[in-house]
A and B are shown apart, each in its own frame.
Chain A
Amino acid sequence: MVGSFIQDDLATIFASSEFGEADGTVLWNGVEVEGAIFDNEGVEFQMGEGMSQIAEQPVLTAPSAQFNDSLADGDLFTIRGASYRLKNWLDDGTGVVEMMFEKVT
């Protein structure tokens, strides 16, 4: 269980007034996520054969308490108006979860 002092700090860090996405712009299965940071960085990667590729790597970072250990493979997220399918996630054990997505086209 993460201490309340950490939860208070996380709430501040992830607030839309600080580094978080604007309120109402991140939805998890239709439910608003209050306080999350979205990165969609272009990354170059090598597949072992042929040329390297460059593509976007959507990652959402948020306080894990919002999800109550209920994240599931394939959950649908709407972020900045675009749709993403949850592929996997990493919970760091200190109250923050990092989620990786497939973009829904």
Chain B
Amino acid sequence: MAHVRTQIREQFKTVIETALPSAGYDVFASRRYARNDTGKATVDMAISNDQTQAREVMGDARIHIASLYIRVQRGAQETLLDDLLDADEVAVVEAVAAHDWSGLLEEDPELVQVNFTESDETGVAFGGIILRYDIEYRINKDDPETIIP
């Protein structure tokens, strides 16, 4: 068994990888090293700001609310980049919405923020779209590997 956060990232990876064409995207549940430009978009994810408040529940069960950042970054011709990033959001949002998360999360993931980033340093314009989902899961406070259904 792995930490619930790991399970969540891995499940998002599987969902997104299944929905997006492998010819156009490489998906990572976790990625730190720099990537060489392959002409494909890179999708990775990270969780931050994982919080719980003991007073919201009774006993040892704890509701956690965290932010999952799904980042899609790609190189493209400058005039096409923004349109492609918007299309990336459509593809990711559709994939996440189509999946049944009830085995892992208390509620469906909620898209709460979209940000952009970019670079013009090379012969290919690069940009990224960052989708922040709020996710909610319940565990025993002493067992972060097991979801309480």
A residues sitting closer than 8 Å to B (CB atoms) are 40, 42-58, 84, 87, 101-105
Contact = CB atoms under 8 A, between A and B. Distances in A.
Given A47-B73, A49-B117, A56 B44 contact: no
Contacts, number: 84
27 contacts: A44-B34, A45-B122, A47-B117, A47-B119, A47-B128, A50-B44, A50-B117, A51-B32, A51-B33, A51-B34, A51-B42, A51-B44, A51-B73, A52-B33, A52-B34, A52-B35, A53-B36, A53-B73, A55-B36, A55-B37, A55-B123, A55-B124, A56-B123, A102-B77, A102-B124, A104-B77, A105-B77
A58 B122 CA distance: 7
B78 interface: yes
A103 B124 contact: yes
B19 to A, nearest CB: 20
Interface of B: 31-37, 42, 44, 69, 71, 73, 75, 77-78, 115, 117-128, 130
B124 A43 contact: no
Nearest to A50: B71
Where chain A touches its partner, the secondary structure class is strand
Given A50-B130, A53-B35, A58 B117 contact: no
A50 B122 contact: no
A15 B145 CA distance: 67
A54 B128 contact: no
A87 B124 CA distance: 11
A49 B128 contact: yes
B122 A56 contact: yes
Contacts of A58: 123
A48 to B, nearest CB: 5
B135 to A, nearest CB: 19
Given A102-B77, A102-B78, A54 B115 contact: no
A51 B124 CA distance: 17
Contacts of A57: 121-123
Contacts of A103: 123-124
Contact of A48 (B36, B42, B78, B117): B117
Nearest to B72: A50
Contacts of B118: 47
B117 to A, nearest CB: 4
Contacts of B75: 53, 55
